Structure 1
Amino acid sequence: MPIMASNLYRDMLNFFRNQFSSIILLALLTAIISVIVDQMLSPCSEQLMTLSNRNIDDSAGMSLQPLVQQISVEQQWVLIKVSAARTFARLVSHVMLAGGLLTMIHLVTNHKPVSVLRAIGQSLPILPRLLLLMFLATLLVQLGLLIIVPGIMLAIAFSLAPIIATSHNIDAIKSMRISASLAFANFWLLAPAVFLWLIIQASLLLLATPFTMVSSLVATLLLNIFSNLISSLLLIYLYRLYMLLRQL
Structure 2
Amino acid sequence: MVYFIGAGPGDPELITIKGQRLIKEADVIIYAGSLVNREVLNGAKENVEIYNSAGMTLEEVLEVMRKAEAEDKTVARVHTGDPSIYGAIREQMDALDEMGIRYEVVPGVSSFVAAAAALKKEFTLPGVSQTVILTRLEGRTEVPEGEQLRSLARHGASMAIFLSVGMIDRVVEELLEGYPPDTPVAVVQKASWPDQKIVIGTLKDIAQKVKNENITKTAQIVVGDFLGNDYELSKLYDKTFSHEFRSAKE
* Larger strand fraction of residues: 2
State whether TM-score is above 0.5: no
Classify the TM-score, shorter chain.
0.3 to 0.5
The normalised TM-score by structure 2 is 0.33
Instruction: Indicate the structure (1 or 2) with the bigger Cα radius of gyration.
Output: 2
The normalised TM-score by structure 1 is 0.33
